[in-house]
Amino acid sequence: MLITRECDYAVRVIRALSGEERLSVNDICEREEITAPFAYKILKKLQKAKIVRGYRGVHGGYSLKKSVSEITLLDVYLAIDPGMYIIECMNPKKKCCRDEKLDGGCEVHQELLRIQERLQDMLSERSLQEILGESEKKEKVVGE
């Protein structure tokens, strides 16, 4: 499971939108140091996953469709890359290249499957509200 820069930036986009009624793409980009083309690409995927809502027109922009208390890192990562696998053979559409004769793949495949399941469990354990709240607390302590 490769957590890409796009996945990282998607979390930043959500961080920028949290607690805001609506933000323009320029505001999001400025706050999170993301280029506009990249932000648009991410926002489109987050919209498709029903995590953000887009508004058209002069007063357009974006807002969260879900509360950060309902969103996990796994939700964000899967919105950006629905086929996130730690190795290609984890994808049910692909065969294990080492031993196609075994029904469930080779022994290594089985172990990696267990690891991937645990990683997904860990990414879905805490909401972004919990994660971002801890980040804000650390900033206050450092800034005091």
Domain of 73, in residue numbers = 5-143
What percent of the chain shows pLDDT beyond 70?
84
According to DSSP, residue 35 is labeled -
Note the Cα 112 to chain centre separation in Å.
21
How far is 15 from 33, CA to CA, in rounded Å?
12
According to DSSP, residue 23 is labeled B
pLDDT classification of 98: cutoffs 50, 70, 90: low
CATH code for the domain of 69? 1.10.10.10
Q: Give the number of domains in the chain.
A: 1
Mean pLDDT, the chain, integer: 85
Cβ neighbourhood burial of 113 (10 Å; 0-12, 13-18, 19+): middle
Query: Is pLDDT of 86 > 90?
Result: no
Q: Which own/partner contact pairs does 131-138 have at CB distance under 8 Å and 24+ positions apart?
A: 131/73, 132/15, 132/18, 132/68
Q: What per-residue confidence (pLDDT) applies to 58?
A: 83
pTM for this prediction: 0.81
- pLDDT tens-digit profile of 50-84? 999 999 988 889 999 999 999 999 999 999 998 77
Q: What per-residue confidence (pLDDT) applies to 138?
A: 43
